[in-house]
Structure formats: structure tokens, C-alpha cells
Amino acid sequence: MPGVMITQYVKELPRGKTTPDFTRKPMALTVQEGKVAIFKAVVSGDPAPTVTWTRNKGDTSDPELYKTKYDQRSREHTLEIPNVKVEQADTYKCFATNSYGNAVCTATLGVMSVGFKKTQADAQTNDPEDFRKMLKKTKIVKKRKEKPKKEGEIDPKFWEVMLSAKKSDYERICREFGVTDYRWMLKQLNLKKKEREDEQAKVVEKVDNMKPIEINTSGRAEFEFDMKLNDPNSKIYVYKNGDMLDFGEGSDDSSKHNMKKTGDNYLFSINNVSLNDGGLYQVDVEDVNVFSTNFTIPDVEFNGMLKDAKAVEGHDAVFECILSGPVPQITWCANDVSVKHGDKYNITVSEDKLTHKLTVKDCKLEDKGVYTAIAGIKSSRATLAVDEDPNARGKGQSGASDGADDRARRLADEHARLQRENDEAARRAKSGDGSGDGGDGSGDGGYRSGDLGFGDSSGGDARGKSGLGGEGINDDASGQHGMGRGDLGADGLGGMESDVDGSSGTAGDGTDGKVGFANGLSDINALRGKSAELVCTLNTDKVDGVWYKNGEKLTSTDGVMICKDGCTHKLIIQNCNDADAGLYEFEVNGCRTQATVRVGDLTEFDPDAWQKFSNPVMVKAGQSASFKMSFTPQASLEIKWFNKGSELHDGGSVKVLKESNHSRLQMKDCLRSDTGEIKIQLKNPFGSIEAVSSLIVLDKPGPPQGPLETNESTSSVLELKWNPPKDDGGAEVTNYIIERQQVGQNTWKKVGDILSNHLTFRDRSVSLGKRYTYRIYAENLEGISESMETDKIMAGSLMFPGPPAPPKVNSAFKNCINLTWTQPEKDGGTKILGYLLEKCKKDTNQWVTLNPVNEPIQGLKYAVKDVSEGSEYEFRVSAINMSGAGEPSAPSVMVCAKNPNMKPYFKDPEDFMVVRSGNSIRIKINYEASPLPEIQWLKNGEPVSPWNQIISTDGTSTLVVPSSKYSDSGVYTIVAKNSSGQTSFDIEVRVADEPKPPGPVELEQVVHGKVIITWAPSPDQKNDDRLHYLVAEHNSNTHIWRTISDHLFSTTYTTNIQPGLEYHFRVYAKNDLGLSDPSDSPTWGFNSNRVSVPSNVSAMGSLERPPSILVPLKLHAPPKGYQCYMTCAVRGCPTPHVGWYHNGICINSNHNYYITNAFGVCSIYILRVGNEDSGEYKVVAVNSLGRAECSTVLKVKE
């Protein structure tokens, strides 16, 4: 992956093993001070790499400031930095390391500092109707009471935001705070919601329609919610990151913060939004939080702005923008109204979070307008134009009809639902009494057969327990009226009714002679075919009562059993059926209690589905498991799923589908820990039934268990014993894999693969005294487990070698002492691996090792370079075998680090030098000698002038002649002399200047086809014996100047010409410093000094002839590094082919030589000759009539 640096520890990787690498790199972050920064990385490698985090300008070891986590499900390694500070802005590095290498990549963290925190006020108000006064604060700075964050817990801000967020935002918020266990999060969130609702009930009646904060197209940031206060005088506070904010009531736009109240709606806005406005905003009523929203403002720019779009009606339109930095989510607005992802709009974000797209689906004419993308405090706008679809004309009537049908169906469904609710309410009213339906403790009074009663009540549970009976008005059969108020019922469904004569009846305890109920009847739901009991208790056992069903008196002959046991009265219904349902009453002395009996059935599982469901479901780790159960449809059916006794809720990796006749459970990305009992429970008012299945998640086994035992340890065998893994991964362990690493080495070697019925392993390839570390893996059909790694185990016992003889000094120099020694007599029973050498300086007792024990000296000699000139040392040596280093030898003789006496010796001097006149001459000579020699410089055998400067350093002498003249040319000699002898060396120095041009050039033709070029010598020729000449030619055919001769020491040259062409020649003087200005010749043309062709030549004579050498090659002996130019003349007809050979090898195609052939004048040019250019050079001319050749020898002078 680009941006990842990988280092491999070994030359060759074992088969199937890999070095670490990054599947996903951590991304650069820019967060606001005080927020949470989370770096995430996913790595790969075999064996699994270990991940660590560091930073450039500090350490990450403090667990309070830097928290590392690993999510096994997503395989993400995270570094969490809570409460980021400005000083934590840095470059962070992520290292992934295993035994074969490591990989590292970097990510930067930018921190935006926030401004100062404003202090706010809180003031009392007396007028609850004046909202502005109610929100006014005093001048005392108030901080919100925050719950302290405990180590290892999730940031409390996460729960504050989640409690006020929509379900669609759960995943985004979890991603921001680094929460990955959604199933656990949903359980905790439900518990916290119940706690929050209980707290909010103290100060508010309701809080709903909560919209999170976001920036709108006007540039303001707003959030809103609906809230109804219990007490209009309650104080409302708004906090940002725990600091209370001052805000206006919304009428003054100059205020930074405003809260506008419209009815029960509260709208909070922030004007002139900046990056410092980001943070956690919380609304409290008194000390109770009612709303929280997190405001994240990314500091980004639009690198790619929105572009205007145009679409045809019924087609999609796409808006796209590109940001300068990664942002997970931005705000999209259509005509200044925020839009969300759904059926109409599709919002997507690229993987790098830079490119954001909004797709407007199935465009209609009303979709046209202005669309805005808002990222932080920046926005981009574009327009959408929608054209009418010409193909859609004539379809409007059909579309309208379809819309009307849809509305009619929706109205019919709503009407049916309302009718069902009304029927249910009427049914409950027929079976109820003064306590109502018990839903909230209030409802309509009941009536019995032949009577008409009205009443109200309050309090009580779902059965009306502890309910206060309502007033009732009765009409008896005779038309008389009765009125009475029910008393407090202990366990009834309401108060007792008045008697027929209108007298008031009250419950008693029996102490005053009045009969009353200690416990009244309770409603029951009876299963069809089973028995049911109605029980009530009086305050006395001295009276009997009467049982009624639907107003008719019951006796034992009616198929029921009536029993009395002291104060307890029972009515037992055997084998309940639908006819037994109804309103049952028990009356005694004008007091009565009643209850409703409902008869029904439990729902039933589909037998085939139950049989299939009972079979275990087996999946591999990371796969999805699905369960389905079909059942008989019933109203008011409650469906629950359980895993190992814990209820499963829809969300995260769990998907629960509930239909009228079946339910499905899907668990995604199953873990081994999900293995266990899966249960579905169906519950209705008559009871519940359950079906049980089991989930088996197959995974690789756990690591083998210790403690590891070493059964045998000898010089050649190590026997290990271990225990099987605790978890076999759901599949039987098939084998164990054993790897070994020798201590001090980086590679692991597979040494064993044994069956699972063996828990011991004998390693027969160990060496005595060496220590080893073992890794043991368990393997099943799903994979290989994590390893159990052993401590260091040594093979056999230690046996050290004996001491060698004292080291001997072979030679000593100022920076090196050469030592030798012999092997010890005793090797300790194993091979000698090398030697450990130590030194001790004179007058000290400290022995210093010259090589580590793990890097022994292999031979029996060593050059000690860690010495100081003039110091004296003694040395000792120890032998090393498999057990380690043995006893050291006796010390060597004391030796001094200094050079032996040596005659002076010059190192690679140069014997020739050319200096431009006027420049300084610097001759630098390096030498070696011991002791240091005396240096003398001579010129032409005489001491140099005292005006010359001689610079001498250790091993170097330099002669400097300032502002050289021609007279400074000569042979300079350096003489070095010490007690061991004398050495000298000559250097030829030539002082020269750029040469003056030659004199006039003349042309003369003596032979047809050739011209003789002569010129006057350069004035510098008499002073410079190395001066020579170069001739260049220009003719009317080629129109370019080319060199025809070089290195001419004479003042004449003969060249070939062709008739009919004009020629110009130039002659240059040339020395070691370069060329002079040219001297030009007169023009040689058609009528210039031509030689007449003899008339006696036979016109019919043949011109063909074999090749011949007119001018042979000459001997050459140029100095090394100089140019060399060789030439000869050849003739023949037809024109012969000319080949050049060096030591018998053809060099015509060798680009190190410049070879020309100008009308028989054959030349070869070598730019800088070297020793490899020495040898025989031969020219061979060949045509159809014969062959000719000539040769010479080139000697290169040193």
C-alpha cells in the first residue's frame, strides 16, 4: 500500500508466512481542542502482527491520554485520544510487527484551539408568563455538573448525544466516539433512556420532536425541540462543553445565542458561526438534562463546487462536491430546507470522505430550485432545472386515478383500525366497573344487567388495585333510583355498587359488626380446557355469600364448584370453554366484588417449523445465522428472541423481523461467543410458549493450555508436554503444530505436526547448551489457533571450554595491533564457536571486551583497531562453545600502539603538472614514514626560493609557488629523510599560457589532386617544446569546418583536394592549455595554381591497380593521458576498403577511436591514451585486385 514502509527481517520468508502490511492506514485528523481523536488501522500478516503507536514529539505510554483498543469483529486497531489538547498535535506512527518484519505508516493530528469561555448569569423571575424574564440568568458563573469519566468507560458525552439522537444517526455517532459493540450499546441505551425519562418526569410532561443542531443556508446553526414544563417557573439553562451560555429570546439578531419559544416549541440558534462554536450543547431544566446535541464544525474548503443540474421529469439529478479534507457527513438543503437520505434523496460519501453526492430521484417539476451543500462554515449552491417529460402527456388522468385509489385504501385502513379500537374499548367497558379499564387508573364506570351506572375513578394498576370506586346511579326494575359512592377496594376492579334501595354501602373490617372484603376478586385469563379459580376473602368467616355470572345466580349444579375455607370463598370452573367467559360477582350482605373471566388459547407453533427450528444451526465465524419460526396468527401477540437467556433486540448485527404468522432472527458476523441456546418466546394474555434451538459458531480453537512441562532435557532431546485448549472452536482439534526459535535468532522453524491424541513432543534436533523458545498451535477444520509460547528452555547442562594460550603480538601500529592465539586444550564437549577478546590499558584494572559474546571471533587472529597512539595494552582471549564463554587466557605481553620504523614512502604521486601563467603552483605529496621525516623541496636540483611556501602536515607536504611565471617551469624534487632512509620524487611543472596564432598560411600544388599547406611558426614555439599545430578544412561541398590533421610539430602539411571545389584552410597553434586563434589560408578554387594534366596520358589506359601504401604509419610514444594521432596514405582502384586493427582485433566499430578516410589519407585519433592503448596498430587495405598493409607500435609513457 502506498505510504507504508516495510522492513523484512529475514532473507527468505517461510512458505505461507508474510511480513506485516496495512490493509487500511490511519487517516490524518483535524479536531477541535477538547474533542476525541481516533486513529484506526487494519493490518495483515502471518503470524498476526503486534500493533503499537508512537508520536514524534512525545510518548504515548500514559493510558489516561492515549488508549489503544482492538475490535475482534472488525479487526480494527484504534488509538483514542480523549480530550485532545493543543500540545498533542503531532505526527503519529503506527507500527505493525511480527517475527518476519515490520511495517510503519504515519498520520498527522491537527488540533484547533478554542477561544475563551464566556461566563453567564442566572437570575430569578416572578412572572412565569414572561418568557424573557424566566430565561434571565444571574451573574454567577455556573458550571454544569458532569459525571466523572472512569477509566475504561465510554465518554459520558456519547450517551448524552445518543439519548437525544434519532435511530438513523446511531451508527454515525458510534463511529465518531469509537463504539463498535452495537448490541451492547443498544441494551445500555434502553436502560439509560428509562433512567432519563424518570428524571425528566420530575420537571417536564413531555419532550419530543428533537432535531439535532445543523447549519442552515442563512449561516445560522439551529436545533429545536418541543417541551411542556410541569412548572412554568422552571429555569432553563443551555451549556456548551459544560459552560453555561447567555442567550436572548430571539428578537435581537445582534445576540450571539438566542432561544425562541413558540407555544411548546423551543428553537435555539447561533449567529455568525465560527470554528470555535463547535462542541456539545445541552439544555437543562433546573438540574435535569432534557436535550443534548454534538456540534462538529470541520475546517474544510470546497475544492470542487456544486454545478447547476438539469433533468427531465421522471429522471434523476446528481449534485457533487469535493472537500479539502475528510468529512463523514455534510448538510444538504433543497430550497433552504434540510433533506435527508431516503426514498426521495440518495446521499453518498466516498471512501476517503472527500467526495459527497446528492441524488434527487424521480425529479418532478416541484423539485426545481436551489440546492445547497454545507460543510462546516462553508457552503456551495447550485440550481436544478426540471423539464417536463413530453412522453408523459396524456397519462395524468391515470396517475390521478391511481393516487385517488391509494388515498381511498389508506382511509379505509385507518377507518378499520379505528373501528377495531372502538370495538375493543366497548368490550372492555362491558366487562369493567368503577375502576375503568385499569390502563391508567381512570375510565368509565361499569354497569350490571338491568342497571345503568356511570362513574369515574382514579389510581390503580392494570386490574384497578387500590382504586377508588366511582359514583353510580342505578335504576331498578321498579323505576326507583339509588345512588352511592364506592369505598377503597383492596384488590377489586372498583368500588362496590349501592344496593337496590339506594342505601350507601361501605367496606368494613368486621370489628364493628359490618361485613367487608379483605381481598376482592381479580380478573383472570383462563386457558380453554383448563380449570380456573375466582377467589375472594371476607373479613369474617361467619357469613356466606352468593355467586353471580352475568347477573344470574350460580349454584353447584351449574357446572362449577363453590367452596368456602374460613374467610376464603372460591369459585372453581372445570374445563373452561367459551361459555364460561363473562362477568362474575360475589355478594354478601349487600357488599359485592366482581371480576371478568376471559377464555382463550395459547398461540401454537407450526409443527413442521418447530421440528425444523429444533435442529441446531451451525455457521462459521464471521458468517450470518438465521432462524425462522411460523405460528398461528393472534392479536396482542408479543414475540421475543433470546440468546443464552439474554433478550435480543433489533439493531447493529442483530436483525429481528416480526410478522403476523412468523418471525425471523438474523445474527450477522457471528462470533464464537455467540454459541449457545437460541429461544423464541410467544406471549399473549393467556400465557406464553417457547421453542428452543441452538447456535453453534465454528471457529479456530483457542490456544493450548499450560502449564508447559519439560519431561526430558538432554544434549540432543527436549520433550515437551501441554494441555488441550479450553475451547475447541466447535470442531474437534485435529492436530498440534510446534514451532521453534533459537534464542538470539529472529526466525521461527516448524519442527513438528502431531495428531490431537498426543499432548507431548520430542524435539531431537537441539544442541547442547543452546536455549530455545517454542510455540504450540492447535488446529481444527476452521483454522489454526493463537499460539502458546514457552519460556526459554536450554538443552542439556552447561560445559564450558578451557582457556587458550596467551595471545601473541604479531605487529603493532599507531592505530592497529595484530594478535594471534591457539585453540584451548579442552573444548567442553562441543564445537568451539569462536573467541571473546578483551584488552586492558596499562595502569588500569578494567578489562574491556572487543566483541560481543553473540558475535564471536571466528579465526585465531584479530586486528585490534580500538587503540590510542602511544598507549600500552595487554590482551586476553576466551573460547566460546554452545554453553558460552569459558575461562580467559593469561594476559599477553604489554605492547605499545605505535608505528614501526619505516623508510619514507610516497603514495600515488603525479609526475607532471601544467599551470597557467599567473596562477599559483600547488604540489601536494602524501607520504608514509616512521618516524616522521625531514622534508626538503628542490627545483632543478637547487633548493627552492624562500619566497615559495612549504606546508607540512602529518603525512602530507605541499609546495606553493604564488603567481607563477614561465621561469617557474622545471623539475621539482621532494626529498623525505628519516632514520630509516631517504626517498625522493621528481615532478615536472610546466608554466604556460594560451598560444599565439601561427603566421601567414600559403598554399601550393605540385602534384595533381594534392595541395601543400605551409605557415610561419607561432612566436611561442621557441619557448614551448610541447606546442604543436592543428589544421582544419572547409570546402564548398560540405560547408563545415573539419579537422584534417592534429599534433603537427612541423609547419607544413599536404592534403588531398578534388577538382571543381573551393577550399579554405585554418591553422591553429595548440599547447597544454588549449588552442590559439586561427590563421586563415587564401581560397583555393577553380583557377588557383592548378597543375596541368600531362597530355601524353593514354585515354584508353586502364586506371585499375591493387592497393598500395604511399605513406606508412610512424612510431608514437605519447605520455599517459595525452592525445595520439596516427595517419597513413593508401591508394588503389577500385577504392580499397581500409581496416584498422589493434593487437589483431578490428577496431573500426569501436567508439573509443575516431577513424577517418579522406581520399586515401587514413587517420585514427585517441583522445586520452592509457596503458590499455599500448600495442601494435595495423592498417589493411583490400580491393578486388589485391591487399596492402602497414603497422606501427604505440608505447604509452608513464
Give residue-wise pLDDT tens across range 823-842. Answer: 998 887 778 889 999 999 99
Beta-strand ranges (E) seen in 350-395 are: 355-360, 369-375, 378-387
Distance of CA 1056 to the CA centre of its chain: 78
619 vs 509, higher pLDDT: 619
Does residue 132 surpass a pLDDT of 60? Answer: no
pLDDT of residue 543: 86
Question: pLDDT band for position 499 (50/70/90)?
Answer: very low
Q: 105 CB contacts (<8 Å, ≥6 apart)? A: 1, 3, 4, 5, 22, 25, 26, 41, 93, 94
Does residue 370 surpass a pLDDT of 80? Answer: yes
> CB under 8 Å, gap of 24 or more: what pairs does 482-485 form?
none
Q: What is the DSSP letter of 1197?
A: B
Measured between alpha carbons, how far is 602 from 843 in angstroms, rounded to an integer? 103
Rank 166-170, 428-432, 608-612 by mean pLDDT and report only the highest: 608-612
Beta-strand ranges (E) seen in 605-726 are: 617-620, 625-630, 638-643, 646-648, 654-658, 662-667, 676-684, 687-698, 705-713, 718-723
Among residues 919, 936, 1069, 1063, which one has the least CA distance to residue 1004?
1063
Among residues 99, 94, 106, 141, which one has the least CA distance to residue 122?
141
Measured between alpha carbons, how far is 495 from 471 in angstroms, rounded to an integer? 9
Question: pLDDT band for position 1139 (50/70/90)?
Answer: very high
User: Rounded mean pLDDT of 161-178?
Assistant: 78
What is the grid cell recorded at 271? 449567529
* Contact in structure between 1132 and 1125 (CB atoms under 8 Å): no
pLDDT of residue 318: 93
pLDDT of residue 961: 92
pLDDT of residue 891: 93
Measured between alpha carbons, how far is 95 from 90 in angstroms, rounded to an integer? 16
* Contact in structure between 822 and 860 (CB atoms under 8 Å): yes
Question: pLDDT band for position 178 (50/70/90)?
Answer: confident
Q: What is the mean pLDDT of the chain?
A: 81
pLDDT of residue 229: 87
> Minimum mean pLDDT among 408-412, 435-439, 630-634: which range?
435-439
Q: Quick one: 621 exposed, middle or buried, by C-beta within 10 A (0-12, 13-18, 19+)?
A: buried
Does residue 145 surpass a pLDDT of 80? Answer: no
> Minimum mean pLDDT among 795-799, 855-859, 1191-1195: which range?
795-799
Longest distance between any two alpha carbons in the chain, whole Å: 183
What is the grid cell recorded at 737? 503444530
Q: What is the pLDDT of residues 1154-1164, one digit of tens each?
A: 999 988 899 99
Per the listing, cell 583522445 goes with: 1167
pLDDT of residue 984: 92
Measured between alpha carbons, how far is 21 from 103 in angstroms, rounded to an integer? 6
What are the residues facing 947 on neighbouring strands? Answer: none
What is the grid cell recorded at 754? 502431531
> Minimum mean pLDDT among 250-259, 397-406, 977-986: which range?
397-406
Per the listing, cell 380449570 goes with: 531
What are the residues facing 896 on neighbouring strands? Answer: 872
Distance of CA 454 to the CA centre of its chain: 72
What is the grid cell recorded at 587? 355478594
Q: What is the pLDDT of residues 751-791, one digit of tens each?
A: 999 998 889 999 988 877 788 999 999 999 889 999 999 88
Q: To 5 degrees, how large is the angle CA 96–CA 99–CA 100?
A: 85
28 vs 137, higher pLDDT: 28
> Minimum mean pLDDT among 96-110, 781-795, 1077-1091: which range?
1077-1091
Secondary-structure percent of the chain, ordered helix, strand, coil, rounded to 5: 10, 45, 45
pLDDT of residue 419: 60
Does residue 743 surpass a pLDDT of 70? Answer: yes
pLDDT of residue 68: 92
Does residue 504 surpass a pLDDT of 60? Answer: no
User: Rounded mean pLDDT of 355-372?
Assistant: 91
Question: pLDDT band for position 404 (50/70/90)?
Answer: very low
User: Rounded mean pLDDT of 20-39?
Assistant: 88
Positive/negative CA dihedral, 849, 855, 857, 863: negative
Measured between alpha carbons, how far is 156 from 148 in angstroms, rounded to an integer? 8
Q: What is the pLDDT of residues 544-579, one digit of tens each?
A: 889 898 888 888 777 788 888 888 999 998 888 888
Measured between alpha carbons, how far is 47 from 367 in angstroms, rounded to an integer? 56
User: Rounded mean pLDDT of 350-376?
Assistant: 90
Question: pLDDT band for position 406 (50/70/90)?
Answer: low
* Contact in structure between 435 and 464 (CB atoms under 8 Å): yes
Question: pLDDT band for position 1193 (50/70/90)?
Answer: very high
Does residue 280 surpass a pLDDT of 90? Answer: no
Cis preceding-peptide flag for 47 (omega within 30 of 0): yes
* Contact in structure between 267 and 250 (CB atoms under 8 Å): yes
Rg of the chain on CA atoms, in Å: 55
Measured between alpha carbons, how far is 452 from 450 in angstroms, rounded to an integer? 7
Beta-strand ranges (E) seen in 1005-1116 are: 1010-1015, 1028-1035, 1042-1048, 1052-1056, 1063-1071, 1074-1075, 1079-1080, 1105-1111
Q: What is the pLDDT of residues 390-402, one digit of tens each?
A: 765 444 444 444 4
Q: What are phi and psi of 1140, to 5 degrees?
A: -105, 140
pTM over 0.95: no
What is the grid cell recorded at 170? 446511531
Q: To 5 degrees, how large is the angle CA 507–CA 513–CA 517?
A: 30
Q: For the chain, what percent of residues have pLDDT higher than 70?
A: 84
